[in-house]
Amino acid sequence: MTNAETTAAEARNYLVTFNHNLGGGSWSRGPDLERAVEDCRRIAHSDWGHLFKLDGVEVTLNLYDVTGQDSVEIGPGYVSGDNPATAIQSLGRRVVRLPAKRKGRR
């Protein structure tokens, strides 16, 4: 990998969102897509597991490339950024399984 390719790869920035369609959601953002997916999976379970039975269920996460955006706004059906010169790219969706409760914990 050349220096230019390394710099371009390091400059990537990803946003992963979870929306439970009842007016709330969770998100994670970072330079590593797989880490952002794992963080969003964990955060969604932590944020909403006490309200909904989410232990071990499959949910859909939305993936975005938000490289070049300093701030990003997430709403029902849209994601927008503060830099109109750089488009936000949807990377599709990923189905993940939320963590199950650990045995011995209530």
Sorted by where each begins, the domain ranges of the chain are: 3-97
Residue segments in the chain with a per-residue pLDDT below the cut of 70: 1-10, 102-106
Residue 7, pLDDT score: 54
The whole-number pLDDT of residue 105 equals 52
Distance CA 90, CA 52 (A): 27
Amino acid at 15: L
pLDDT score, position 102 = 62
pLDDT at residue 71, as a whole number: 94
**What does the longest C-alpha to C-alpha distance in the chain come to?**
52
Rounded to two decimals, what is the model's pTM? 0.82
Q: Which residues pair with 18 in a beta bridge?
A: 26
- Structure confidence at residue 1 (pLDDT): 43
8 A C-beta contact, residue 46 and residue 100: no
